[in-house]
Amino acid sequence: MGFKQWFDGENDMLLENLHMNRAFEDHIKKEPSVQELKIEDTILMREVYDDSNKALKAFNWIYRVIAVLFCIGLALVLVYTVSNLPEVGNPDTPANSSVVSKRYIENGLEETGATNIVAGMILTYRAFDTFGETNVLFISTCCVMILLMIDEKILHKYKNIGEGKYEPKDDSILQVVAKILVPVIFIFGIYIVLNGQLSPGGGFSGGAILGAGMILYANAFGFQNTQRFFDEKVYKTAKITALCMYGLIGSYFYIMGANGIDNHIPLGTPGAILSGGIILPIDIAVGLEVACTMYAFYALFRRGGL
């Protein structure tokens, strides 16, 4: 009877009578819901931060004691340092005397080989300060990568992530303008970096120009095309190499100067492109560091990856 009804189209024997095999259901991986994940997270937090956890109590107590001692020690060091500073308006302090500025102006060319006094001061007399600023760029990029970096598998899975889903792609006007401007920007940025010891410019300004050129290229042609010549591996190599190169050159210069030993890095002929002693290689290192930092910030905030 049931078969005849099915054959005549009056009834479907499989409708509401088909059941999935239990053994097959067990092989299906069910994704946990958001509510289930929240419950698991709550249970885990309760177990970890349980008030009866003696190890956690001991750690928190030690942590607070060390934090208080560290703050007190730091405050004492700062108070002691400030108490030994010269009085405000004292004419004998280096800041108020003309000894330092006079040294920069009169002996700067001879001691640094740079016709640009500012570059000679920042990258030789005060190279240690500039090295600290370069480290700040490196550390800040590392922090942003820790906070915003997305796993490479996710970036490959969602290829359009951060690419401007609701923005026009393959903009002909932007691409034509970028083809004209990007080479000019790169050449001008390299010129600024290499010419820092001779005229206004150097690693910071030249690196900013190079970073802007890379951002324009990524906007016009997309991150996939940019990764053909500048991916995460190239970024890490350039950034770490630049910082290490600066550190090695600077350390050699500091050690020689602190011990009254002449360094063997030639100053060159003032006014020539290969002059300025340690200024030129340091400018190159700083330029790479700044360019990588600018592009990394843009890429990480835009798409969560390089």
Kindly state the helix (H) or strand (E) to which residue 17 belongs, with its residue range. none
Residues 6+ apart with CB under 8 A from 198: 114, 115, 116, 271, 273, 275, 276
Residue 5 is predicted with a pLDDT of 59
Angstrom distance (rounded) from CA 30 to CA 46:
25
Residue 24 is predicted with a pLDDT of 46
Inter-residue long-range contacts of 62-69, CB under 8 Å, 24+ positions, other chains counted: none
pTM of the model: 0.68
Contact status, residue 290 vs residue 203, Cβ threshold 8 Å = yes
Contact status, residue 163 vs residue 305, Cβ threshold 8 Å = no
Report residue 194 as tokens: 């290499």
Residue 284 is predicted with a pLDDT of 93
**Which amino acid makes up residue 244?**
C
Which of the residues in the chain have pLDDT under 50? 23-25, 27, 166
Report residue 119 as tokens: 């570059």
Residues 6+ apart with CB under 8 A from 122: 129, 130, 202
Angstrom distance (rounded) from CA 291 to CA 279:
18
Q: Please tell me the number of Cα atoms within 13 Å of 295 on its side-chain side.
A: 29
**DSSP letters for 72-101:** HHHHHHHHHHHHTSPPTT-TTSTTTSSHHH
Report residue 271 as tokens: 């006014």
Angstrom distance (rounded) from CA 277 to CA 109:
11
